[in-house]
């Protein structure tokens, strides 16, 4: 595997672009191939075996495109399919749950950790297990927030309805007096301000995107696969043919997306 | 084709169950085979060719199951794929847009008609064209309400956030002084109370589910395909393996769903 090969990153849709943005900031030399499975989005409310099938499709596509590493930049897919993807590929595979859990566990001495995510992610118990292994004495409470993904996708990041629903979802975590909150969905960094307002300034908010970028850097370095210089521009693929990915994706990436290539999976 | 064969009905997910409920009320002798494409739901934000591909898969599945007629019980699929499904099948095919538009056009003398639906349905202009053909003098205004589907699916039918977003979506239609409002999405009947509250009692609300059931009855009668008596219990298929369809579907159908069969499309 050549160090000049791109990093492959996939998500069910645009959410994983928050991970792309973090990787770009930390590793500007790396070329990225991104796939958004927009024809089958969302994964969060679908069952583990359906998500596993889709995640394997997506990961194999990235390998066919020459990826030297695959990042499962979707919490639901990381929860249901990380083992399956690792078993199916020969290149290194990084999910978003372990880096986020490590950051939460190492960040000061958290004793009361809240995790928010999709129905699939929270029900899988993946964060709960990862945190229990890393910081056994911590109290961990999970909360599914199914409407936050569509609200973020619609750009309602500063809307009264978003504040209302966020306050309602987070009420049990506030009542449980959490000191740390893990954003267990790649869509949630867009709602960070509203979430911070609800939980208050004493609660540390863990955005796993940065943690994932650091895990990518560590692993590429360990494998001597860090790119010496940029070999190619980033490429963006989507399984839907529409303009929506380009239009909505810019907000998640933080810069406009010029061109999206279509692929049937 | 035997009159005792079932009516095939499909939707991207649970929304089409509001059409099943209307067909059951009007035609209690008919057996129904329903397919919810829950592994790929929603259709509303996806592009026309992706929706067309999925709709053809679903319609062919129902024909393989012996359907004597196929009802495209999804407005987005009716908008993008009705012609393609009609061309691909030899049995009669009924969509939800024309019956709804006919009901709106015939209901008194509406002059100012609002249509709400998904992004795909409204952007397609299908209702606007159908209404222009039926009642050329009417003023027609469409409004996409992308968040109403997830709100209905989450059961937030009487929630402050739903009221807030509904009022916001409908504000341009209220300002346009509509006298008729077409619920151009099979999810919206669940939100009928909130919608009625926003538009006020003077606005007639057109729920196409009943109109579709009537169109089904008329066409089966014309083809001498009305069942003389119930030949089999209704069957429900879903492309996702999970429990969600059964759990959420009951609210749309109005009665619990005992058993859902899984199918890979």
Note the pLDDT tens digit of each residue in B105-145.
Answer: 987 776 899 999 999 999 999 999 999 999 999 999 999 99
State whether B50 and A242 contact (CB < 8 Å): yes
Fold equal for A7-95+210-262 and A98-207:
yes
In this structure, which CATH number among 3.20.20.140, 3.40.50.2000, 3.60.20.10, 3.40.50.1860 belongs to the domain A98-207?
3.40.50.1860
What pLDDT is recorded for position B53?
Answer: 97
Confidence of residue A242 (pLDDT cuts 50, 70, 90): confident
Report which secondary-structure segment, H or E, holds A122. Answer: helix A119-124
Q: Would you list the domain boundaries of chain B? A: 7-95+210-262, 98-208
Q: Does B231 have pLDDT greater than 90?
A: no
Q: Does B1 have pLDDT greater than 80?
A: no
The whole-angstrom separation of Cα B117 and Cα B149 is 9
Taking the CA of residue A172 and the nearest CA in chain B, the distance in Å comes to 18
Average pLDDT score, chain A: 96
- B7-95+210-262 maps to CATH 3.90.660.10: no
Confidence of residue A74 (pLDDT cuts 50, 70, 90): very high
**Which residues of chain A neighbour B242 with C-beta distances below 8 Å?**
46-47, 50
Can you read off the two tokens belonging to residue B165?
Answer: 């977003």
Arithmetic mean of pLDDT, B87-107: 95
Show the 3-state SS of chain B: CCCCCCEEEEECCCCCHHHHHHHHHHCCCCCEEEEECCCCCCCCCCCHHHHHHHHHHHHHHHHHCCCCEEEECCHHHHHHHHHHHHHHCCCCEEECHHHHHHHHHHCCCCCEEEEEECHHHHHHCHHHHHHHHHCCCCEEEEEECCCHHHHHHCCCCCCHHHHHHHHHHHHHHHHCCCCEEEECCCCHHHHHHHHHHHHCCCCEEEEHHHHHHHHHHHHHHHCCCCCCCCCCCCEEEECCCCCHHHHHHHHHHCCCCCCCEECCC
For the stretch A13-57, pLDDT in tens is 999 999 999 999 999 999 999 999 999 999 999 999 999 999 999
The alpha carbon dihedral of B251, B253, B256, B258 has a sign of negative
CATH architecture of B98-208: 3-Layer(aba) Sandwich (3.40)
The answer to whether B257 and B246 are in contact (CB under 8 A) is yes
List the single residue in B with minimal CA-CA distance to A144: B154
Confidence of residue A110 (pLDDT cuts 50, 70, 90): low
State whether A47 and B241 contact (CB < 8 Å): yes
Confidence of residue A106 (pLDDT cuts 50, 70, 90): confident
């Amino acid at each position: 595997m050549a160090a000049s090969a791109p990093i492959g990153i996939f998500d069910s849709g645009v959410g994983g672009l928050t991970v792309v943005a973090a990787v770009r900031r930390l590793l500007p030399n790396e070329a990225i191939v991104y796939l958004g499975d927009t024809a089958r989005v969302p994964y969060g409310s679908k069952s583990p075996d359906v998500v596993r099938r889709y995640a394997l499709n997506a990961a194999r596509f990235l390998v066919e495109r020459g990826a030297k590493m695959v990042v499962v930049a979707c919490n639901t897919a990381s929860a249901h399919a990380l083992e399956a993807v690792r078993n199916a590929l020969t290149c290194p595979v990084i999910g978003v749950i372990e880096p986020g859990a490590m950051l939460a566990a190492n960040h000061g001495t958290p004793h009361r950790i809240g995790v928010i995510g999709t129905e699939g992610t929270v029900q899988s118990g993946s964060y709960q297990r990862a945190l229990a292994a890393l910081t056994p004495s911590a109290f961990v409470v999970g909360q599914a927030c199914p409407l936050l993904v569509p609200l973020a996708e619609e750009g309602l990041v500063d809307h009264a309805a978003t504040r209302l629903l966020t306050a309602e979802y987070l009420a049990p975590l506030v009542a449980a007096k959490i000191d740390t909150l893990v954003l267990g969905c790649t869509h949630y960094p867009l709602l960070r301000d509203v979430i911070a307002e609800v939980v208050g300034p004493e609660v540390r908010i863990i955005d796993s995107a940065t943690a994932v970028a650091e895990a990518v850097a560590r692993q590429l370095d360990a494998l001597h696969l860090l790119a010496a210089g940029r070999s190619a521009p980033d490429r963006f693929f989507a399984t839907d043919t529409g303009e929506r990915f380009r239009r909505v994706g810019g907000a998640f990436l933080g810069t406009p997306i010029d061109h999206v290539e279509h692929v049937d999976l």
